[in-house]
Amino acid sequence: MKRAVYPGSFDPITNGHLDIIKRAAKVFDEVIVGVLVNVEKKGLFDIDERVKLIERVTKSLSNVKVRSYDGLLINLMKQEEAKVIIKGLRAVSDFEYEFQMALMNNKLDSTIETVFMMTNAQYSYLSSSAVKQVAKFGGCIKELVPDEIIPDIMIKIGE
C-alpha cells in the first residue's frame, strides 16, 4: 500500500491545499493530512478545529485521513507506516526551504522520499495567511477556501 503524508499548518485549509490533496489521492492509495501542532505560534483555529475543517471538506475522499502531530514529521510517518511526504510548491520562494526540509528528513530517515506537486496556476498566490488577511479586512474569500468553511472563518475572525 502506497501511503503518503501531506503535512502543514492548514490554518485554515485553502483551495490550494485541497487541490493538492485531491491530486495526491489519485496518485497514492492513502493520503494522510498531517496537521502540525506549533506550540510557538497561536493560530486562528486550534488544532482540533483545523482537523475537523479538513475532515469536513475531504469527507467525499475515502482514501484521505487527517491526523495532528507535534515534533518531528518522521515520527508521524513511522506511526502511520508512510514513506512518502507530499509538498506543494507555489513559487521559487518555496523551493529553498522545502529543499532543505526534504534533505533533512531524508538524512533523519533515508527510506523517506519527498514528492513535490506544483500548485495549480489558479492557486499560486494563495496561502492561509493571505486568506486570513483578506477576511480580516472584509474582503471576499469565496473561491479561496471551500464554500462550506467560509462561515467558520468569518465567525472566528469576528471573535
Catalytic residues: 17, 41, 90, 128
Does 114 sit near ligand ADP (CB under 6 A)? Answer: no
Of 4, 5, 10, 132, the residue at the interface with ligand ADP (CB under 6 A) is: 10
**Dihedral sign for Cα atoms in the order 10, 29, 91, 112:** positive
Nearest approach in angstroms of CB 93 to ligand ADP is 10
For residue 89, the tally of other CB atoms under 10 A from its CB is 16
Around 70, how many Cα atoms within 13 Å sit in the side-chain half-sphere?
7
State the Cα–Cα distance between residues 37 and 9, nearest whole angstrom: 8
1 or 91, CB closer to ligand ADP? Answer: 91
> Rule CB under 6 A: which of 88-107 touch ligand ADP?
88, 90, 94
Of 45, 128, 144, 153, the residue at the interface with ligand ADP (CB under 6 A) is: 128
